[in-house]
Amino acid sequence: MTKESSKLDLACTYLKNNQPISAHNILMTLAESEMKKNDFRAGILLLLAAECKIKQGKDKNDELLQAAKFYQKLAKKEKPSNAKYAYLCAAKCFLRIGKYDNAMDAFAKAKKYIHHIIEEKKPIVVVDDSPAITLKLNDYLQKLGYKDVHTFTDGQSALKSIKKLIQSSQNPIILLDMDLPDITGDEIAKTLLKLKPDLSIILITADEKTNPRVRKTIGWGSTAFVQKPFTINELKNALDVTMSGSIT
């Protein structure tokens, strides 16, 4: 158990034993340490410290104001999804101490991030040896807002590229044909899913979904299936399913 965890456990013990002053002192020390690291946990620790003040019958506004300002500062440094969360946390803290104008301002800033979060797109890797299909997919993907698209006509080149994307902490979506000149799509899927079990793979093939090879590949963890010929709406639905983490 880490030193910080031990201190947090001790603070919780003090709270259970109705010793809010001792708990408050520990929580504030932990919060100051986490704020230096720009860690979201600092805000939670400050909220717990505020609860200790309430148990003492004292004013909790200082701790809540400190938490609100910390979340605001953190929001300016975070990625869109985390920034939105930080601004919403700040808004809630401001509301609890009656600073309604500050709360509305933080909430308004959080709303600005909603559009950007929706528009965030993962890299796409298209693996298909048909020029007509790759052109069609690139056209559809561009219309759907995907700009980072990598296209390959053979399995070996695709595998090398996908492995590099994964190693660089990117999480691509793979649009995979089942019939390639060098490696079959099911073998590519099997190799990639061993490397990264949660990798998003959409099978794009002329085979029926009931085809044993397709069923086997889906069973390994492919997230969606599109049968050729396909429409832009069918592709969009498969991408939406993949992004939501569902299995078709």
pTM as predicted = 0.51
Here the tokens at position 40 are 């979201």
In the predicted model, what is the mean pLDDT of residues 203-225?
Answer: 74
Q: What is the DSSP letter of 237?
A: H
Q: Does residue 139 carry a pLDDT above 70?
A: yes
Per-residue pLDDT, 190: 86
Q: Which of 153, 152, 207, 158 is nearest to 178 (CA)?
A: 207
Q: How far apart are CA 55 and CA 45, in angstroms?
A: 15
Whether the per-residue pLDDT at 57 is higher than 80: the answer is yes
For residues 195 and 39, give the distance between their C-alpha atoms in angstroms, rounded to a whole number: 30
pLDDT band for position 170 (50/70/90)? Answer: confident
Q: What is the dihedral of CA 103, 104, 106, 111, to 10 degrees?
A: 140
**According to the model, what pLDDT value does residue 192 have?**
87
Per-residue pLDDT tens over the stretch 93-127: 999 999 999 999 999 888 877 554 444 578 899 99
Which residue has tokens 């969009």?
Answer: 236
Q: Using CA atoms, how far apart are residues 199 and 207, in angstroms rounded to an integer?
A: 22
